[in-house]
Amino acid sequence: MNPDPDDDWIALSEPDLGEVESEVVQAVLRAPRLSEGPFAERFEAAFAERTGRGHAVAVASGTLGALLALRALRIGPGDEVIVSAYGWRQLAHAVAWAGATPVCAEINYWTGCMNPERAALHINPRTRAIMAGNTNGHPAEWHALRQLANAHGVTLIEDSTEAIGSRYAGRRVGSFGDLAVFDFSQPSALCVGEGGMVVTDDAELAAELRMLRRRDMRDRQSISVGSRVPLQAAMSELTAALGLAQLARIEQILARRKQVESWYLEQMRTFEGIKPPYLGQDVDEVHWMLYVVHLGARFTASGRRQIIDDLAADHIETAAYCLPLHQQFHYQQIGMARGQLPLTDRIGDRSLALPLHAGLDEGQVRFIVKTLKDASVNVGAGAAIYL
């Protein structure tokens, strides 16, 4: 159920916008260019600096960024890319759009991220890349994934569409893959409506990405553009200006969200046997995209649906965190099926996303948790809930 913006709902996510964003948008509206202008270039430079990468390429969405990256890497029909079935799947969809075959690897049950040992089981001569994600903001096991990619000579693609600000082994997410893809649509902490960024240290790859995303008036007269057909996939100046303003405020935005997280942690103690959020080895800091809880073993997917409906009755927007990739019709047509990834199935049926954004106050968090507790007791007869 989508909340009515005119009603008194507690939304699952809200962008954190202020005067800075308003001022930069007004500046763009007074400028002579709304596309391929200076704000996009400045946003790219600032984002590359923040992630510690040599190059950043602004794109219209994370999915398009991943698609351009796969095309730049010449990955297509006949190739395989190892992906995770768990998450919000923007980048895995790009594999299908590129004509390559996504191959789902099992996850680490506690982190929700790709399990490197399970991923290794799927590598074969057709494997061209491993696409692993920082699921809901929790960093993947990047040391092990890097070793795996190097050992087999495949590209490591870092899916950071759900993460910004998290740190692993002293480095920010986005700095571990041969390239990394970010997405700035809601519910990202850095939210500009739509848009994304591809970062890399490979100058040739960055140049190819820029060529493939371009829209050039001179192409109207070109007879050779068909050799490497570009997409109209650039980021607008309005989007880039919002992104630049959000990036300048990102530490403030993340700090506000951390405050909300601390209120959740305090209130969640009212659940008997509650477990604190799990942080994997070498993880320094996690900035969650949403506040996700895992229902206990007695709950089913239908039980979760009832809890979502119960919270909606109290005007609290929640959502199933995801429907795993291998359970979706399109991917089942290429041989995937429920039961192939038991851990993913188990967590996918019971993960519940709660509101997380800077607009929440302590009273609202208290109300969310109390309502969730009442609903879970009604549905699961007191079954435990785990973070």
Q: Residue 350 pLDDT more than 70?
A: yes
Average pLDDT of the segment spanning 279-294:
95
Statement to judge: residues 34 and 85 lie in one domain: yes
Considering only CA atoms, which of 285, 287, 282 is closest in space to residue 250?
287
Statement to judge: residues 215 and 230 lie in one domain: yes
Q: Residue 6 pLDDT more than 70?
A: no
In a domain, 318, yes or no: yes
Alpha-carbon gap, residue 276 to 217, rounded angstroms: 55
Statement to judge: residues 163 and 207 lie in one domain: yes
Q: 224 pLDDT band (50/70/90 cuts)? A: low
What value does the mean pLDDT of the chain take?
91
Q: 34 pLDDT band (50/70/90 cuts)? A: confident
In a domain, 5, yes or no: no
| Predicted pLDDT of residue 87 | 85
Q: Residue 170 pLDDT more than 80?
A: yes
Domain containing residue 310: CATH number: 3.90.1150.10
Domain containing residue 236: CATH number: 3.40.640.10
In a domain, 365, yes or no: yes
Statement to judge: residues 95 and 208 lie in one domain: yes
pTM: 0.92
35 with 236: CB under 8 angstroms? Answer: yes
| Predicted pLDDT of residue 222 | 59
176 with 190: CB under 8 angstroms? Answer: no
Alpha-carbon gap, residue 188 to 289, rounded angstroms: 6
- Please identify, among 187, 215, 248, the residue that sits at the C-terminal boundary of a domain: 248
- Residue-wise pLDDT for 78-111, tens only, equals 999 999 999 877 888 999 999 999 999 999 999 9
Q: What SS3 state is found at 35? A: strand
| Predicted pLDDT of residue 382 | 54
pLDDT above 90: percentage of residues in the chain:
78
Statement to judge: residues 275 and 375 lie in one domain: yes
Phi/psi for 107 (5° steps) reads -105, 165
Q: Residue 185 pLDDT more than 90?
A: yes
Domain that holds residue 381: 251-386
Statement to judge: residues 232 and 259 lie in one domain: no
Statement to judge: residues 270 and 357 lie in one domain: yes
Domains held by the chain: number: 2
Helix, strand, coil percent values for the chain (each to nearest 5) = 40, 15, 40
Lowest mean pLDDT among 155-169, 179-193, 288-302: 288-302
Residue 338 buriedness (CB in 10 A; 0-12 / 13-18 / 19+): middle
Statement to judge: residues 265 and 231 lie in one domain: no
Residues contacting 292, CB < 8 A, separation 6+: 136, 321, 351, 352, 353, 354, 387
- Please identify, among 248, 283, 313, the residue that sits at the C-terminal boundary of a domain: 248
Statement to judge: residues 137 and 45 lie in one domain: yes
Q: What SS3 state is found at 294? A: strand
DSSP for 148-176, please give it.
HHHHHT-EEEEE-TT-SS-EETTEETTSS
Q: What is the CA radius of gyration of the chain?
A: 21
- Please identify, among 223, 248, 273, the residue that sits at the C-terminal boundary of a domain: 248
Alpha-carbon gap, residue 318 to 320, rounded angstroms: 7
Strand partners, 84: 105
Using DSSP bridges, classify how beta strands 179-183 and 127-133 pair: parallel, antiparallel or unpaired.
unpaired
| Predicted pLDDT of residue 380 | 65
Alpha-carbon gap, residue 303 to 1, rounded angstroms: 16
Average pLDDT of the segment spanning 99-128:
97
Q: Residue 217 pLDDT more than 90?
A: no
